Amino acid sequence: MPKQLNAYGILLRPLITEKAQIQASPHNEAVAHKYTFEVDQRANKLQIKDAVEVAFNVRVKEVNTMVMKGKRRRYGRSLTKQPDWKKAIVTLQAGEKIELFEGV
C-alpha cells in the first residue's frame, strides 16, 4: 500500500530560477502571483492546492503541473539518467503573496 501524502510532504522545494522570479514579481501584472515548486510525483492538482494553502496561508486560484524528464548525465564512460520530477506553477488570488520568495 502506498504511503499517504501529507501537506508538507507534497511540496519538496521552491524553484528559484530567473523565469520563476519574473513570474512572482508584482511589477509584471500579466504573470504576477505565480510561484513554482518541485512537488511529489504522486500529488494531483487538488492536493497541491491544499498543501500550498495550508503551508503558506494563502488562497490559490489555479495550479498547473508538468512532469519534467530527467537529464542524461555522463560519468566517465558510462551514461546515466537523472530521475523524472514534477513541477507545479501555482497562481494565487489577487492581493496574495508568499513571503518566502521576497528578496531572493
Is the pLDDT reported for residue 74 higher than 80?
yes
Q: What is the dotted CATH code of the domain comprising 7-95?
A: 3.30.70.330
Question: How far is 63 from 50, CA to CA, in rounded Å?
Answer: 10
Residues 79-103 have pLDDT tens digits of: 999 999 999 999 999 888 888 656 5
- Percentage of the chain with pLDDT > 70? 87
Cβ atoms of 68 and 56 within 8 Å: the answer is no
Which cell numbers in the block locate residue 57? 496561508
The alpha-helical segments, DSSP class H, found in 27-93 are 45-56
Beta bridge partners of 29: none
15: left (phi over 0), alpha (psi -120 to 50) or beta: beta
- How confident is the model at residue 1, as a pLDDT? 45
Tens-digit pLDDT profile for residues 30-46? 667 899 999 999 999 99
Residue 40 vs residue 21, higher pLDDT:
40
The pTM of the full predicted model, rounded to 2 decimals, is 0.85
Can you read off the three cell numbers belonging to residue 77?
A: 564512460
